């Protein structure tokens, strides 16, 4: 059956996040030829609208309001529900990002609907979409279907490939007015901590440090490698607990769960709770002094050695090949 699908394009720092294209691909799979309607909130949205059409959306609704420039629960849920009422779609796909995690359950409750969160794969052979999602932070997976109501899911960045960009695709872009009232949260300030703007959840390459980095200073060589590779920095709980770095960098069952193309674990022993957060990375490199460290059991390539010797060499070698 064909379905009309609604997706939200996510704009951060005036850039349309790549996961927006992945939500379009996910929606196209479920739509089975039905219309894909993209929604954009914020300001200066026209170029983003075009990009969404190039990646497969049929029609875009832009809601240009100052109050929607930064995400707040009230403003976005009010705006989204007005678009929803106008469009009456058969399904909604959001990204499983800060915005999607906050917004989707709220909308699902409002619509009295089910929601499948953090989806990494969708099969739609029989007409009933089957969603695969990790449980126990990736120690296991489950397959879910929606029993009733509309199809509603959030997808994890980096897992469902975007369609190929087609610059010849065209579609209509219409702007819509919404009523926003009684907004109960005010954002006073946003302090950027990610210096290079590479977000852990969306990073293709992650360089992560554990207790083996020994100090906050010890992260320096890792940062230099990350710079060369365009990678994000991550950490084990051990490194966070020892205050070598911020908790926002923690990867594992009680931190971020990541699925990059390349994960370089330096000085991380590989406790089960850390492995849960990263073992589904496509390629894992382990660098550790201890040849018995469990991280080597999940690593594709391992180097037994001192990270303070290996990482700078690796940085130099990568410089040679990437430039």
Partner 1 sequence: MNIFVIMKRTFDTEEKVVIENGSIDEEDVEFIINPYDEYALEEAIVLRDKHDGTVTVVTVGEEEAEKELRTALAMGVDQAVLLDIEELEGEVDHYSVSEVLAAYFIDKEIDIILGGNVAVDDGSGQVAPRVAEKLGINQVTTITKIEVEDRDVKIEREVEGDVEYVEASLPLVVTCQQGLNEPRYPSLPGIMKAKKKPLETIDVDELDLDEKKIEAKTNTLDRFLPPEKQAGKVLQGETKDQVRELVGLLRNESKVI
Considering only residues 239 to 258 of the shown chain, the ones binding partner 1 according to CB under 8 A are: 240, 246-250, 253-255, 257
What dihedral angle (degrees, nearest 10) is formed by the CA atoms of 147, 153, 156, 160? 80
Give the SS3 label for residue 204: coil
303 makes contact with partner 1 (CB under 8 A) = yes
Q: What's the DSSP call for residue 162?
A: P
| CB of 208 closer than 8 Å to CB of 268 | yes
Sole binder of partner 1 in the list 188, 217, 292, 323 (CB under 8 A): 188
Enumerate residues 105-124 that contact partner 1 by CB under 8 A: 105-106, 108-110, 112-118
Judged by CB under 8 A, does residue 259 bind partner 1?
no
Site for partner 1 in 277-296 (CB under 8 A): 279-280, 282-286, 291, 296
Q: Which stretch binds partner 1 (CB under 8 A): 28-36, 60-68, 206-214, 305-313?
A: 305-313
| Residues 65-104 as x/- pattern, contact with partner 1 by CB under 8 A | -------xxx--x-------------------xx--xx-x
Angle at 158 between CA 153 and CA 160, to 5 degrees: 55
- Least distance to partner 1 from the beta carbon of 193, Å? 5
Encoded one letter per residue, x for contact with partner 1 by CB under 8 A and - for no contact, window 144-163 reads: xxxxxx--------------
Using CA atoms, how far apart are residues 52 and 108, in angstroms rounded to an integer?
Answer: 24
Per rule CB under 8 A, count of chain residues that contact partner 1? 98
Q: Which of 126, 177, 181, 187 binds partner 1 (CB under 8 A)?
A: 187
Site string for partner 1, 202-231 (x = CB under 8 A): --xx-----------------------x--
The Cα–Cα gap between 6 and 1 comes to: 16
Q: Does 52 bind partner 1 (CB under 8 A)?
A: no
What would the two tokens of residue 112 be? 């009295």
Among 6, 19, 31, 200, binds partner 1 (CB under 8 A): 200
Q: Which is nearer to partner 1, 169 or 312 (CB)?
A: 312
- According to the binding rule CB under 8 A, does residue 43 interact with partner 1? no
Q: Which residues of 195-205 are buried (b: 16+ CB within 10 A; e: fewer)?
A: eeebbbbbbeb
What's the half-sphere exposure (Cβ side, CA atoms, 13 Å) at 132?
Answer: 10
**Shortest CB 148 distance to partner 1, Å:** 6
Local structure of 200: helix, strand or coil: helix
Q: Give the separation between CA 124 and CA 319, rounded to whole angstroms.
A: 43
φ, ψ of residue 205 to 5 degrees: the values are -130, 135
**Nearest alpha-carbon partner for 113 in 146, 142, 88, 145:** 146
Q: How far is the CB of 191 from partner 1 (least distance, A)?
A: 5
Nearer to partner 1, 29 or 105 (CB): 105
CA distance 109 to 200: 29
Rounded CA separation 93/287 (Å): 38
With CB under 8 A as the contact rule, the residue among 16, 63, 276, 307 that binds partner 1 is 276
Residue 147 vs 177, nearer CB to partner 1: 147
């Amino acid at each position: 059956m064909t379905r009309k699908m609604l997706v939200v394009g996510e704009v951060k720092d005036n850039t349309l996040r790549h996961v927006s294209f992945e939500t379009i691909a996910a929606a196209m799979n479920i739509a089975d030829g039905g219309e894909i309607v993209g929604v954009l909130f914020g300001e200066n949205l026209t170029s983003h609208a075009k990009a969404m059409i190039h990646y497969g959306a049929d029609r875009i609704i832009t809601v240009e309001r100052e109050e929607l420039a930064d995400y707040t629960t009230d403003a976005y849920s009010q705006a989204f529900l007005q678009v929803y009422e106008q469009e009456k779609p058969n399904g909604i796909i959001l990204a499983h990002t800060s915005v999607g995690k906050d917004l989707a359950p709220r909308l699902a409750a409002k619509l009295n609907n089910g929601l499948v969160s953090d989806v990494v794969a969708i099969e739609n052979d029989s007409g009933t979409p089957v969603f695969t999602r990790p449980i126990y932070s990736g120690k296991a997976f489950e397959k879910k279907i929606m029993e009733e109501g509309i199809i509603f899911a959030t997808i994890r960045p980096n897992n469902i490939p975007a369609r190929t960009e087609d610059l010849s695709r065209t579609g209509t872009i219409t702007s819509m007015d919404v009523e926003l009232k009684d907004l109960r949260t005010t954002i006073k300030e946003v302090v950027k901590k990610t210096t290079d703007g590479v977000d852990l959840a969306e990073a293709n390459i992650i360089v992560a440090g554990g207790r083996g980095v020994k100090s906050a200073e010890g992260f320096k060589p890792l940062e230099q490698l990350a710079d060369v590779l365009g990678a994000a920095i991550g950490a084990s709980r051990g490194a966070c607990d020892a205050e070598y770095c911020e908790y926002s960098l923690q990867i594992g069952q009680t931190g971020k769960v990541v699925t990059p193309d390349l994960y370089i674990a330096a000085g991380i022993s590989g406790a089960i709770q850390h492995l849960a957060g990263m073992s589904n990375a496509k390629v894992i490199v382990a660098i550790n002094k201890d040849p018995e460290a469990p991280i080597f059991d999940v690593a594709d390539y391992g180097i037994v050695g001192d990270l303070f010797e290996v990482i700078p060499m690796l940085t130099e070698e990568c410089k040679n090949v990437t430039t």
